[in-house]
Amino acid sequence: MNNAMISIATQFSRTPAGRYKADGPKSGEAFRENMLAPSLRKYDRVTVDLDGTLGFGSSFLEEAFGGLVRMGFSASELKKKLIIVSSLSTYTNRIWQYITDADAVKESHGVSQ
Amino acid sequence: MMFVARIDQLLRSGRAVHIDLSAIEELHPCGTLIFLAKLEMWTAANPGRLTGTYPDDVVAEQLLQNVGALTRLGLSARQEITSERVLPWHFHSGTKVAAEAYASLTASVLGNDLGHPEKQLFADCLNEAVDNTVGHAYKFAVSHTPQQPLQKWWIFSLSEKDRVFVSIFDSGVTIPRSLRKKEDWVDFLKNRTYWKDSRLMSAAATTGKTSTKLPHRGKGLPEMVEFSKKLSSGGLSILSGWAVFSYDAEKDAVSHASLDCHIPGTLVLWNLPFHKERTSE
């Protein structure tokens, strides 16, 4: 099993914020497209370390992680592959809630994998 | 706001405007932030038509120099910034959600004891407030909307020993007007035509505990309110258009009211004390 570790603070930005790439340079969309999704495709398990940043913002987190579902990953697949590490449990809980919510929306629209 | 409206009016009529700052004794952050934002818009749209006079008060001059206001009025920077009353003030602005621009503010708050069980979320709230501006505030134009390069957010902050004060301003569409255009709110408000802007803003700022039951609402304001609810004192005020919504942390009370004067955009005033935490009830 090959694993990857992503530290947002050291590998992406100490100041991540914003939803879309058009909104700002360190957005959730940019993180998902440039780092998170490629790692999830390449590795069996990906650990994302949230510590060390100066905050995020719910738009960043929703787009980065909820957006994975909208781009084709399923919630069940992410539960097997994705590990979130944070000293603040609020972040971990929120991220899984965003993934679950995005999955529910996808299900309700009848989108198949 | 009458002062700002008067300058707007004079510039619109093609006149040159000279702003006499000599009598300034004290600058209040909320009014100063709107003035600074408007000054940027006025000078960009009316090059060479705005001039000014230095404040007599050295502290006022240092502050206005430090935030670039005097230069915009054609006055050169002649003071060394030394006043203890000026150094804690920081001014930031931008058109994107680029948290690096105000990282010094975020770091100063996170480096202090904010008296909040999850103080890290301060940065999230701030980022989300800026994200609201970039994503929503300028979605459609109204009479006071500036040209694209000036569709910005502005932040003025004061870091003191016992508190941090943050004000955020955008010159966008205002929250009530924006909500009245949103599809889900249009439906919701069909049977609530009697709702004033202030009540509408209160509904937008409070979370799922309200009666609205609307699924898609902006996250920025409710998150700020929720965060503020875990403070022991201080609070949050949001002024937008003709309405104000406030949360008083000491009284744990929200309120909303109509304003006597129109705010040309949205102004968030956030007062966060250090060192004290609300005891669990």
Q: What is the pLDDT of residues B2-58, one digit of tens each?
A: 889 899 999 999 999 999 999 999 888 888 999 999 999 999 999 999 999 999 999
Question: In the structure, what pLDDT confidence band is assigned to residue B207 with cuts at 50, 70 and 90?
Answer: low
Whether the Cβ atoms of residue B266 and residue B135 lie closer than 8 Å to each other? no
pLDDT, one tens digit per residue, over B144-179 is 888 888 899 999 999 888 889 999 999 999 988 888
Q: Quick check: B65 and B86 in contact, CB under 8 A?
A: no
pLDDT digits (tens, 9 = 90+) for B133-148: 888 888 888 878 888 8
Q: Which helix (H) or strand (E) holds B74?
A: none
Are A57 and B120 inside 8 Å of each other by CB? no
In this structure, are strands B163-170 and B153-159 parallel, antiparallel, or unpaired?
antiparallel
Q: Taking CB atoms and an 8 Å limit, are A19 and B135 in contact across chains?
A: yes
Q: β-pairing, A82-85 with B253-273? A: unpaired
Q: What is the radius of gyration, based on Cα positions, of chain A?
A: 13
Residues B208 and B187 sit within 8 Å (Cβ to Cβ): no
Question: Residues B249, B279: contact at Cβ < 8 Å?
Answer: no
Global confidence as pTM:
0.88
Per-residue confidence (pLDDT) for residue B212, from 0 to 100 = 44
B266 three-class SS: strand
CA distance A70 to chain B (A): 17
Kindly indicate the confidence band of residue A111, based on its pLDDT and cuts at 50, 70 and 90: low
What digits encode the pLDDT tens for the residues B69-100?
999 999 999 999 999 999 989 999 999 999 99
Element (DSSP H or E) covering residue B93: strand B89-94
Distance, in Å, from the CA atom of B167 to the CA atom of B258, rounded to the nearest integer, reads 20
Q: Quick check: B20 and B52 in contact, CB under 8 A? A: yes
Tokens of B154: 């502005």
Measured between beta carbons, which residues in chain A are less than 8 angstroms from residue B127?
A: 17-18, 55-57, 59-60
- Distance, in Å, from the CA atom of B52 to the CA atom of B3, rounded to the nearest integer, reads 14
Please judge whether B96 and A24 are an interchain contact, meaning their C-beta atoms are less than 8 angstroms apart: yes
- Within 10 A of B90 (CB to CB), how many other CB atoms are there? 17
- The token duo for B190 is 């069909």
Cβ pair B127:A14 closer than 8 A: no
* Residue B142, SS3 per DSSP: coil
What is the complex's ipTM, to 2 decimals? 0.90
Among candidates B134, B128, B224, B136, which has minimal Cα distance to A59?
A: B128
Query: What angle in degrees, to the nearest 10, is found between the helix axes of B103-110 and B121-132?
Result: 150
